[in-house]
Amino acid sequence: MQYSWDLLIYFKPSLTGEGYYWELILQGLGRTIVLSLLSWVLALGLGTALGIARTLPLPALSVPAAVFVHCFRNTPLLVQVFLWFYVVPELLPSEWGTAIKRMDPTSGQFLTVLVALTLYTAAKAAEVIRSGIQAVSRGQKQAASALGLTELHAYRHVILPQAFRIVMPPLTSDFLNVFKNSSVALTIGFMELTGQTRQIGDFSSQPFEAYIAATLIYTLITLSVIAFMRRIEKSTQVPGYWGV
């Protein structure tokens, strides 16, 4: 190995004149965090609605929800991002398509990835939540009906509070995956953390240092998410219900 290391590369100014390399990393980190958190919040809301819809005895709701989940869960995220970015604007009426394409490039790329990442994550979250709902024993629902609760109230007060507690660990994984999946944004030119890392590697010819920084940052993000989710898991755990 004949690699010349330069661990001070982060403190050197970028060749593009956009500031120091550490500033570019921070900028990328900021974009990754905003994109991921926003997608996750939206996906959790949409995923919960879809997950519930899939368990309802109403085909008018459960069938479309199932179709949505299968479409978005069974195709690669990268393909979805490309479809949203390159194909969808061509299918719209040409005025709309042009308006989308003439948007400020960075916001256009951000919104495209936000939509793609949200729908993809929502489809996965929906399945997790559906399995959580189905894991709550049937007796509970029957007992709720016997007490005179409507379907809506049974979900709100009996089933969902338990379902969410059950699916907390798999939801943690999905939450982690959002951060990692957000890196597909670089394929349409949105310079989030991985994109900036690649840029820095290309410009400085010190790719290893750049990727080491990115690896550490992603690890730090995921460890924080895990720590945060553990706290929620602990505080919401039903004593004696599972895993104690």
Partner 1 sequence: MKQRWILILAAATALAVAGPVPAQDRPTTFKKVEQTGTFVVGTRAASIPFNYLDDNNEQSGFAWEITQRVADKVKAAVKRDDIQVRPMEVTPQTRIPLVANQTVDLECSSTTHNRERENQVGFSTSFFVVGTRMLVPAGSPIKNWSDLAGKNVAVSAGTTGERLLRKLNDDQKLNVKVVLGKDIDNTFMTVDTGRADAAVMDDMVLYSLIARSPKPKKWNVVGDLLHQEAYACMLRKDDAEFKELVDGVITELMNSGEITALYDKYFTSPINVRGGFNINAPMSPAIKELFANPNDRVL
Among the listed residues 36, 28, 116, the one whose alpha carbon sits nearest the alpha carbon of residue 71: 116
By the criterion CB under 8 A, which residues form the site for partner 1?
1-6, 15-18, 86, 89-90, 98, 101-102, 104-106, 108, 186-191, 195, 198-199, 201-208, 212
In the complex, minimum distance from the CB of residue 158 to partner 1, in angstroms, rounded to a whole number: 36
Which residue lies nearer to partner 1 by CB, 1 or 60? 1
In the complex, minimum distance from the CB of residue 113 to partner 1, in angstroms, rounded to a whole number: 13
Which residue lies nearer to partner 1 by CB, 134 or 187? 187
Print burial letters for 80-107: b (CB count within 10 Å at least 16), e (below 16).
Answer: bbbebbeeebeeeeeeeeeebeeeeeee
Which residue lies nearer to partner 1 by CB, 137 or 224? 224
User: What is the full DSSP assignment across 10-65?
Assistant: GGSBPTTSSSBHHHHHHHHHHHHHHHHHHHHHHHHHHHHHHHHHHHSS-HHHHHHH
Q: Length of the chain, please?
A: 244
In the complex, minimum distance from the CB of residue 205 to partner 1, in angstroms, rounded to a whole number: 4
In the complex, minimum distance from the CB of residue 32 to partner 1, in angstroms, rounded to a whole number: 16
Q: How far apart are CA 216 and CA 172, in angstroms?
A: 20
> If you compute the radius of gyration of the chain from its CA atoms, what whole number of angstroms results?
22
In the complex, minimum distance from the CB of residue 4 to partner 1, in angstroms, rounded to a whole number: 5
In the complex, minimum distance from the CB of residue 155 to partner 1, in angstroms, rounded to a whole number: 38
Q: How far apart are CA 105 and CA 231, in angstroms?
A: 39
Which residue lies nearer to partner 1 by CB, 228 or 241? 228
Which residue lies nearer to partner 1 by CB, 170 or 207? 207
Which residue lies nearer to partner 1 by CB, 131 or 187? 187
Q: How far apart are CA 39 and CA 45, in angstroms?
A: 10
Beta-bridge partner residues of 13 = 20
